[in-house]
Amino acid sequence: MIGLVFLVAMILICVFGPLFSSYNDITQVDIVNAKQAPSAMHWLGTDASGRDIMTRLMLGGRLSLLIGFGATAIEIIIGAFLGCVSGYYGGIVDSVMMRLVDIILSLPGMPILIMISAIFSDRHVDTGARIYLLMLILACLGWAGTCRFFRGQVLTIRETDYMTATESMGLHDMRKILKHIMPNVFPLIIVTATLSVGDTILTESTMSYLGVGVLPPYASWGNMVQEGSNMVDFTLHPWMWMPAGFCILATVLCINLFGDGLRDALDPRMISSK
Whether pTM exceeds 0.75: yes
CA distance 219 to 96: 41
Number of domains in the chain: 1
User: What is the CATH number for 132?
Assistant: 1.10.3720
Which pLDDT does position 130 carry in this prediction?
83
What are all long-range contacts of 199-203, with beta carbons under 8 Å and residues at least 24 apart?
199/142, 200/67, 200/68, 200/71, 200/72, 200/75, 200/138, 200/142, 201/64, 201/65, 201/67, 201/68, 201/248, 201/251, 201/252, 201/255, 202/248, 202/252, 203/109, 203/110, 203/113, 203/138
Residue 96 lies in a domain: yes
Residue with the larger pLDDT of the pair 67 and 162: 67
Residue 186 lies in a domain: yes
Residue 254 lies in a domain: no
Residue 253 lies in a domain: no
pLDDT tens for each residue of 1-47: 677 788 788 888 888 888 777 777 677 777 888 888 888 888 888 88
Instruction: Quickly state the pLDDT bin for 267 (edges 50, 70, 90).
Output: low
Residue 1 lies in a domain: no
Residue numbers of the domain that contains 224: 64-248
Residue 214 lies in a domain: yes
Residue 55 lies in a domain: no
Residue 208 lies in a domain: yes
